[in-house]
Chains A and B, each alone.
Chain A
Amino acid sequence: MKTGIEMGLNRTGIGTSPLAAKASIQGAEEGVPLAGIDGSGMARVRADYVRDAEPIGTVPPPTSVKGAVLSAGQLLSGKRPAVLLDKLSERLAFERTGTRLYEALIAKMEAMPATEKLPLEEVRRFHDEERAHMQLVAAAIERLGGDPTAETPSADVDGVASMGLLQVIADPRTSILHSLHAIHIAELADNDGWLLLIQLAGSMGQDEMVTAFSAALDEEEEHLESVRRWMTNGVLAEAQREAATFEPGEAHAT
């Protein structure tokens, strides 16, 4: 069974080759006799760029007359409809990527031996729900006169933040447990994302949205609980599994 948690010839630490590591430490000390953590110059450069930076982008204006009315603040009780549109787009982007994350997980589960299989039907249902949530948010954006195909700043930031998650699950070498770890991070963020969105929609008088989104949040809570349980059970079971024997030794002598 491929779990990614076996002892073997990992060569990354200094314990792999104590003699060579000692030489590296001695070389570094000789090369920099007086070490000190001086980050003031780095901080200055970064602050300089922060001050000069332009925003990563904007929220597009409404695409319909109704949207224009909304953005003028007449149908929304908040002053900045752009904030709601931006956070809706963020949720849309996250649910869309979340759907793909589940697809990658399902593909990996189907390729794994039966012993490693999680309740596949349940995972498939979660996938379908993520997709339905995405469509729910798209419809909400349209009702506000926004463009659900546009990528707003928060949607973009969300894409950047999620890059590593897909990278983990899409890697054929990672195990189901590794993949569940990535899904777990996604579901944690997703749950809080929905909570925030519901609060925001409520503060802007969008009661219909609050009702629909609350139902989505119920499903997301179930996703999180299940993923957390599968992950925990998997790790605990792994710790009890019979281990293969491994004899450690010096990897190189230079």
Chain B
Amino acid sequence: MALDIFHERGVPLERQVFTWRDLVRTPISKLDDDAFTRVRIILMNGLETFALRLGHPLSWMNDDLRRPLAQMRRIEKHQQTLVNWLLPPDLSPLETTIAYEQVAIEVTASVAQHEPDPYLAQVYRFGLLEDFDHMHRFSALLDRLEGKDANNILQSYTDIRPGRPTAVEHRAPEDDLREHYDRTTAAPLTKLHAITLTGAEFQTEDYYMNIGPLFADPLARQLYAEISAIEEQHVTQYGSLMDPNESPLERWMLMQATEVYNYYSCAESESNPRVREIWTRFVDYELGQLHATMELFKALERRDPAEVLPESVPEPIAFESHREFVRQTLAGEVDLRARGTQFVDKSQEGADSPSVIYRDQMNSEGSPSELVAAGYRWRPGTELSDGRAKATQQEVGAP
């Protein structure tokens, strides 16, 4: 039965409490847990990070919101820790990167299929094919640098093959902005989708910026520099979908509703009982935060939250393999490029387009994503398992 967010009031803020032991639990198993358990953890860390990221500037610019947002951010912070600390220490930064890209692919694919607005659905498919290519490049790096198989992380749910080549994803800023939805007419789900993917991409960019310098290998450092730049473009792209005319409190209320929606989606599909208990608890916490925000909205804006929020939580995100959808999208849309807020075939991009000029400049001393995956085809057990190939260290460019 769908969750009625107006009648389900969740846990009141004062009862949303934690201890350090509660925050730091036994992590999931890298080897035995389902890949989608890890996908959900990464996604929800992204949403909690986004709530903090959004809550701060809203407080800086709104006197009335300073105290209530500080209270809610404290809870979000602890939720974020509890969720993110479920990742185990045997996942290397590069393996975690593979998991981040799996989130970007499978969650974006689900969102693209459920998005009611055709233009936004197109935007999501456009971004999807770029993250899909990142997976190919990072898998090549994982194989060729560390001698590891990306499919150990992906568990055969997600294809490893080129998408829209990362080298052509570099665009001028004006070609990353998209039309925003209209807050007065957009479906609530459209708003929740935009927040979800902006949060997911934002944390990915930050993650790559934090771990990029940990790599000794110069090509790995270059690849993280390159792909984190695309993630910044994606934050621009997805962030620009949100209507800038929404009031700060309206946006905060949508943020809370997005968290309810996502935790609910996680709880509905989780296979690990220990983790499901956390999702269920946080659905109730987020409902509590949402209702606190609704009260603020009514008191400060004198508006009815029902103008903005859906009556019940929409159909959950499908945490499953979207292989066929991704392949169809790849076949039909890999050659699309952006011109302003619209998408055109690559033949219409034009040599004088700001994006082409920018891209040529950035790639003029070589393209890390092209170099790292030159001739790369994923195969089970890494490309070294191909008995026919006589690879030497020199041939694969091992450091």
Contacts and interface: CB of A to CB of B under 8 A. Distances in A.
Contacts of B247: none
Nearest to A16: B155
Nearest to B218: A49
B217 to A, nearest CB: 7
B155 A32 contact: no
A49 B35 CA distance: 36
Interface stretch (B174-182, B204-212, B303-311, B366-374): B366-374
Interface residues of B, number: 53
Contacts of A30: 161
A24 B156 contact: yes
Contacts of B152: 12-13
Contact of B374 (A10, A21, A38): A38
Contact of A23 (B323, B370, B391, B399): B323
Interface in B134-158: 136, 144, 151-158
Given A31-B161, A37-B383, A46-B397, A14 B151 contact: yes
Contact of A39 (B26, B217, B327, B374): B374
A10 B32 contact: yes
Interface string B384-399: 0000010100111111
A171 B377 contact: no
B377 A12 contact: no
Contact of B159 (A27, A37, A172): A27
A45 to B, nearest CB: 5
A28 B379 contact: yes
A41 interface: yes
B34 A251 contact: yes
Interface in A1-38: 8-14, 16-17, 20-21, 23-25, 27-32, 34-38
A43 interface: yes
A32 B136 CA distance: 11
Nearest to B154: A24
A215 to B, nearest CB: 36
B282 interface: no
| Interface size of A as a range | 35 or more
A198 to B, nearest CB: 30
Q: Among B27, B323, B375, B394, find the residue whose CB has the most chain A CB atoms closer than 10 A.
A: B375
A173 interface: yes
Given A11-B33, A27-B161, A254-B320, A39 B156 contact: no
B350 interface: no
A252 interface: yes
Interface in A26-64: 27-32, 34-43, 45-46, 48-49
B155 A35 contact: no
Given A20-B156, A21-B156, A251-B155, A41 B162 contact: no
A27 B379 CA distance: 10
A45 B371 contact: yes
Interface in A196-254: 251-252, 254
B50 interface: no
B218 A46 contact: yes
Interface of B: 26-27, 31-35, 88-90, 136, 144, 151-162, 217-219, 222, 320-321, 323, 327, 366, 368, 370-372, 374-380, 383, 389, 391, 394-399
24 contacts: A8-B32, A9-B32, A10-B31, A11-B33, A11-B155, A12-B155, A14-B380, A16-B155, A20-B157, A21-B156, A21-B380, A28-B161, A30-B161, A32-B376, A37-B395, A39-B398, A41-B374, A45-B222, A46-B219, A171-B90, A172-B26, A252-B34, A254-B321, A254-B323
Interface of A: 8-14, 16-17, 20-21, 23-25, 27-32, 34-43, 45-46, 48-49, 167, 171-173, 251-252, 254
Pairs of residues from A and B, 3 with the lowest C-beta to C-beta distance, nearest first: A31-B161, A39-B397, A42-B397
